[in-house]
Amino acid sequence: MHIHFIIHEHFEAPGAYESWAKNRDFTISYSKVYQGDPLPKNVDDFDFLIVMGGPQDPSTSKEQCPHFDTKGEQDVILTAIDAGKAVIGVCLGSQLIGEALGAQYEHSPEREIGKFPINLTKEGLTHPLFSHFGSTLDVGHWHNDMPGLTLDSKVIAYSEGCPRQIVAYSDKVFGFQCHMELTKEVVSLLIQNDDLSRAAEYRFVDEADILLNHDYHEMNLKLHEFLDKLAQRYQATV
């Protein structure tokens, strides 16, 4: 299996997605666009495309952020989907999947930064790739926006602050607005690159010391199990 990551900023690291790929001895490649790496030219070179988060949104222009090419990324995402690849978007990545499929991203009702529960919908509870999540699961969050919905998409999970936490766009394409990849190391990087001085003004924003003291291990394991199931599904189709 070959996993390709599109990474927008050094502090939006792939965390538990990367450790899953390394632990299974998969081939890993990267487009670290903040370093000037090109986007992949041939989707046949990989099996999984994982598009990470970032402070940008799908409407961010090249003038606003020279290293972020929203149209280019959406083109890669759509080409990978059409080629039958497994595609996962995280936060910004999930919004880019929706945009690539014609569904406009929106602002989330609440800003969420911390570790809070998501609730599985009826579709989520009966979905074989998420059966191990249970009805609720505490996961990481770091966002202001949420992905758009296509006519065929299904909301797998929601939270009190955001109605679209996990979206299934097809059998092999998923958007995660939540951040199940967070580790303490990744959280430390995010804290260094965000302003949490007004955290107390928000219902779902943790203070920095609380963020660093959360245990992210269980959600990482749940994510790994989802990825194993998705890999099995993908391999059954190639």
Give the domain range for residue 85: 2-235
Does residue 8 register a pLDDT over 90? yes
Under the banding of pLDDT at 50, 70 and 90, the label for residue 67 is very high
Does residue 220 register a pLDDT over 90? yes
Under the banding of pLDDT at 50, 70 and 90, the label for residue 120 is very high
- Mean pLDDT for 118-123 is 98
What are 36's two structure tokens? 């000037």
Percent of the chain with pLDDT over 70: 100
**How much is the pLDDT for 22?**
98
Does residue 32 register a pLDDT over 90? yes
- Please say whether the dihedral angle defined by the alpha carbons of residues 149, 32, 224 and 3, taken in this order, is positive or negative: positive
- Is residue 212 within 8 Å of 115, Cβ to Cβ? no
CA distance 30 to 50: 10
Beta carbons within 8 Å of 59's beta carbon, 6+ residues apart:
70, 105
**How much is the pLDDT for 74?**
98
Helix (H) or strand (E) holding 90: strand 86-90
CA distance 37 to 94: 21
Does the predicted TM-score (pTM) go above 0.85?
yes
* pLDDT tens by residue, 134-172: 999 999 999 999 999 999 999 999 999 999 999 999 999
Total domains, the chain: 1
Does residue 238 register a pLDDT over 90? no
Which CATH number is 99's domain given? Answer: 3.40.50.880
Phi then psi for 20, rounded to 5 degrees?
A: -60, -50
- Mean pLDDT for 6-21 is 98
**How much is the pLDDT for 162?**
98
Question: Cα dist. 140→44, 65, 178, 233 in Å?
Answer: 32, 26, 6, 26
Mean pLDDT for the chain overall: 97
**How much is the pLDDT for 12?**
97
* pLDDT tens by residue, 192-205: 999 998 988 899 99
